[in-house]
Amino acid sequence: MRSVGGSGTVAQTQDKIDELAINTIRTLSIDAIQKANSGHPGTVMDAAPVAYTLWQQFLRYDPKAPHWINRDRFVLSAGHASMLLYSLIHLAGIEAADIGYQSHDGAAVTLDDIESFREEGSRCPGHPEYGWTTGVESTTGPLGQGVATSVGMAIAGKWLAATYNKPDFELFDYNVYALCGEGCLMEGVGSEAASLAGHLKLSNLCWIFDNNNVTIDGHANITFTEDVAKRFDAYGWNVVRVSDANDLGELAGALNVFLATDDKPTIIIIHSHIGYGSPGKHDTPAAHGEPLGPDEVRRTKEFFGFDPDKFFVVPDGVREHFTSHMGSRGADLRAKWEALFADYARSHPDQAKQIELIRDRELPEGWDADIPSFDADPTGIATRQASGKVLNAIAAKVPWVLGGAADVAGSTKVILDYPDAGDFQAYGELGDYAGHNMRYGIREHGMCAVVNGMVLSGLRAYDSCYLIFTDYARGSIRLSSLMDIPVLHIWTHDSISLGQDGPTHQPVEQLASLRAMPGLVVIRPADANETAEAYRLMMPHKSRPVALVLTRQAVPTFDRSTMAPASGLAKGAYVLVDADGGKPDVILIGTGSEVALCVAARELLSKDGIKARVVSMPCREMFEDQSDAYKRSVLPPEITARVTVEEASPLGWDRYAGPKGIVLGMNTFGLSAPLKVVSEHFGFTPEKVAEAAKKTLGR
């Protein structure tokens, strides 16, 4: 028997109110798109019965408690059909709730919002945006991202159930639904995620494929003729077909098949007609990406039985119908769940406290108690190795820290090896759903999208790979920033100093491009203790993703008894070691492994009577957040002789070097040779840094 919150098998009945509600979704959407003179009406018109059936009959969701932790998730991966989701949110009466952007009460989407679709201030932007509109579970728009993110949500559901469910207390059993189109299935990120979901046997995941055979450029068969059913069968999915998107009984039957499947994810392939109801644009690409036009709107409303001279109409009884079905069911399930949780808290208080912390994105007391410190060592260790030690110390204290790498976990040092860490796998000889090590395979883009979904579900998840391969994952990294969610990206092999793998693996432009991404905090620590401080800083974040950028090679661990403490990292940049008397002739600014070059260059300069200050600047974003007074104390404007040193693109460093300073960076790709040879070839040596300092003093 299903537990509290279980879906159960749902019988489908249809009457006039169902038809009226579906057509209200359609007409609200075409009115909004026509008024905005921008948008995508066709998918809304053909998929309205699908979404209606799911929400009204199946979705376990309380509109008055939209962040209930065991709610079902609905992700509109076909984000261009955003008015479908906004109409549903409005008609279902979802209430606004604060998740960072909103603090007001009342409706998440008002009729005024719908009337101002795609206008400034509306809760109905062009594509769904998490945090801006309550009821939007994930930002979507770039196709494939929504379905890939839904895999992470399903993983989180399985992990939560395996970790916290107890006999007689099945707290977590939510399902994840994602509505997608041809574009989502063509995108590589969707394929990566589908393959992983099949391997993991995520039976709580259902993709609903609105197969209307149209993309922007025309009918999909000009580019997309594969057999989707065979493809997903090969992935290990359960495949269900629906022959008519308007047949509510067939739709309900397909969803019941999903609910009865307990050993694999399900894809429901629904054959639909884009622009359904539009006499002139039914089944045509013209219905996809532009308003229907005033005349066609009139004809379409007449087809649906609506007055063509009235706009944004919600007929009597439609909102009440949603309330009496979805709303009533969701409120009842949520109330029963809360009663169950109260009993659970009495029987399992420690686990209940953890669930509350997950819900609130908080950390347990003492989470950082075992973060190691590292003794001074001129040889030192790679910051990737230091990261692995710190990560394990934290994860052992925070059970909901989990993650992995794109097939290089041993190299990026992100394997969790504390007792009972385990691997997240389908139950069997490889592991179980309570494991903490994620095995993503060689799927960089899919990995980052999956981690977004896990973090959206409350887990403190991380991903990892070599810095160069952020190029393969850019879309998902960008969305973690756009959504303001605390994803931890761990990137290693951070410079040309990785050596003999050569230019294909040596990142040059990646740091500059990541720093250009709004909201992303890019931290490149100089030594092991800065690495520890980076974790201490970023773990409490409830928003803003962090890119932690780490060395492959060993770097010195600085003697903090003679240099500033590594806690200076929290300000983004700090004076690591000052000139004698605190009045430098020149300032040397470095990040990561190049800070050690600056320290060595300082010693060379001192032999020539030149006083140098060394500034470690692990995070430009955090430095820019400091007061002007602090920034001037680190980089006094009157000291114009400056050298910045980073084995990467010089883009942006002129801001800190100033008009008389020198930027040492990479203007070409790298070189396949041993580390020392590469460094000397490109001039990243203490001698070259000292030479640049003397040159800038001469300016």
Catalytic-residue membership of 444? yes
Report the alpha-carbon distance of residue 534 to residue 349 in Å, rounded: 31
Q: Which of 444, 530, 594, 646 is catalytic?
A: 444
The tokens describing 633, both together, are 């104390």
C-beta separation of 380 from 528 below 8 A: yes
| Three-state SS sequence of 324-373 | HHHHHHHHHHHHHHHHHHHHHHHHCHHHHHHHHHHHHCCCCCCCCCCCCC
Of 637, 662, 635, residue with least CA distance to 650: 662
C-beta separation of 124 from 133 below 8 A: yes
The three-state secondary structure class of 670 is coil
C-beta separation of 531 from 414 below 8 A: no
Strand order through the sheet with 437-439: 437-439, 401-405, 460-466, 488-492, 546-549, 521-523
What angle, 0 to 180 degrees and rounded to 10, lies between the N-to-C axes of helices 145-164 and 474-482? Answer: 70
The tokens describing 176, both together, are 């994840």
Angle among Cα 257, 260, 261 to the nearest 5 degrees reads 90
Half-sphere exposure of 355 toward its Cβ, with a 13 Å CA cutoff?
A: 23
Helix (H) or strand (E) holding 11: none
C-beta separation of 14 from 249 below 8 A: yes
Instruction: Report the 10 Å Cβ neighbour count for 500.
Output: 13
For 121, residues 6+ apart whose C-beta sits below 8 A from its C-beta are: none
Do β-strands 554-557 and 377-382 pair in parallel, antiparallel, or remain unpaired? antiparallel
Active site residues: 444
